[in-house]
């Protein structure tokens, strides 16, 4: 898969500095403990700059991250997360884990059936017996009801300001949204301004679709709920958390 974060990674932490990683890590930890009392070692798909993993590490879990973006892996290692550059659909490690997690819609980046099935099979292969696979995705009923709309986000710190324009293009026949990012950055010290564009393809899913995928790749679907709140998924729920258990 192509690295969609080649330039984006430089400004990723700034753009998401308002994201409550601590609360999300607490939610994930609670769900893992709820469904498996013996979770200690966690493999994180799409570990990014390490924000979720480091909070989970502080809670006593052993975390190892896989991330396609070289820039993000560099930042994550600088922050203290054990991780490597890898594609979640084709990696191979000589170790199994108690749980695999994929947060912030990492699974939604798997837009082809081949990559999706390969990633789920890899999760299964690297889980111990009865291991848990926890992930969140964009939810189809919410996408159809709310539609993906253009958005603008502005963030800054003492050194740089960033403006991100997100323009989604919906392909209703493939369940994929092409989110076209235009990012303008300004160095507040040198006053230099730069701009770049990236395209992020995002797939949305229904519950029956994930359930079928789980059965096909050796998992049992244990729980489905709105990520973080625990509410029953509805057309208002953009992000849904799925919890699977390895059964074979």
The CATH number given to 143-202 is 2.20.25.110
Contact 244, 121 (CB under 8 A): no
Output the pLDDT for position 37. 85
The pLDDT of residue 140 is 98
Beta bridge partners of 221: 244
Contact 120, 212 (CB under 8 A): no
pLDDT average, residue stretch 192-219:
97
Start and end residues for every CATH 3.40.50.150 domain found in the chain: 8-140+205-246
pTM here?
0.95
> b or e along 31-56 (b: 16 or more beta carbons within 10 Å of the residue's beta carbon)?
bbeebbeebebbbbbbbbbbbbbbbb
* CATH 2.20.25.110 domain extents, the chain: 143-202
- What is the band of 5 on the pLDDT scale with cuts at 50, 70, 90? low
What CA–CA distance (Å, rounded) separates 56 from 222?
Answer: 22
- Determine the average pLDDT of the residues in 194-218: 97
pLDDT digits (tens, 9 = 90+) for 153-196: 999 999 999 999 999 999 999 999 999 999 999 999 999 999 99
pLDDT at 47 over 90: yes
Name which of 232, 231, 233, 181 is nearest 204 in CA terms: 233
Tell me which of 1-10, 68-77, 96-105, 202-211 is least confident: 1-10
DSSP label at residue 2: -
User: 5-19, 76-90, 104-118, 231-245: which range is least confident on average?
Assistant: 5-19
User: How far apart are the C-alpha atoms of 68 and 192, rounded to whole Å?
Assistant: 29
What average pLDDT score do residues 137-155 get? Answer: 96
Mean pLDDT for the chain? 95
CA distance 17 to 135: 21
What is the C-alpha to C-alpha distance for residues 187 and 246, in angstroms, rounded to an integer?
48
pLDDT at 2: 43
Say what the pLDDT of residue 166 is.
97
pLDDT tens figures, 11-32: 999 999 999 999 999 999 999 9
pLDDT band with cut points at 50, 70 and 90 for residue 6: low
In this predicted structure, what is the pLDDT of residue 132? Answer: 98
**β strands within 9-119, DSSP E:** 41-45, 62-67, 83-85, 97-102
User: What is the b/e burial string over 1-14, where b = at least 16 CB atoms within 10 angstroms of the residue's CB?
Assistant: eebbbebbbbbbbb
CATH code matching the domain that covers 8-140+205-246, chosen among 3.40.50.620, 3.40.50.150, 3.90.45.10, 3.40.190.10: 3.40.50.150
pLDDT above 90 covers a percentage of the chain that reads 95
Is the confidence at residue 1, as pLDDT, over 50?
A: no
pLDDT value at 4 more than 80: no
């Amino acid at each position: 898969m192509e690295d969609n974060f080649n330039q984006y990674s430089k400004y990723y932490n700034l753009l998401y500095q308002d994201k409550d990683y601590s609360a999300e890590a607490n939610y994930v930890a609670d769900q893992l403990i709820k469904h498996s009392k013996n979770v200690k070692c966690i493999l994180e798909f799409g570990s990014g700059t390490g924000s979720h993993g480091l909070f989970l590490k502080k809670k006593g879990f052993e975390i190892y991250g896989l991330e396609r973006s070289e820039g993000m892996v560099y930042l994550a290692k600088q922050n203290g997360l054990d991780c490597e550059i890898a594609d979640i659909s084709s990696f191979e490690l000589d170790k199994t884990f108690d749980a695999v997690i994929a947060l912030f819609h990492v699974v939604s980046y798997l837009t082809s059936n081949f990559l999706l099935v390969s990633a789920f099979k890899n999760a299964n292969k690297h889980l111990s017996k009865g291991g848990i696979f926890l992930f969140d995705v964009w939810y189809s009923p919410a996408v159809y009801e709310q539609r993906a709309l253009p958005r603008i986000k502005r963030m800054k710190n003492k050194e740089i300001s960033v403006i991100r324009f997100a323009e989604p293009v919906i392909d209703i026949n493939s369940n994929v949204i092409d989110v076209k990012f235009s990012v303008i950055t300004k160095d507040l010290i040198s006053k230099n301004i730069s701009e770049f564009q990236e395209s992020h393809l995002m797939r949305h899913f229904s519950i029956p679709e994930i359930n079928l995928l789980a059965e096909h790749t050796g998992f049992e679907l244990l729980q489905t709920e709105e990520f973080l709140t625990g509410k029953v998924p509805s057309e208002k729920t953009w992000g849904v958390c799925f919890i699977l258990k390895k059964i074979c």
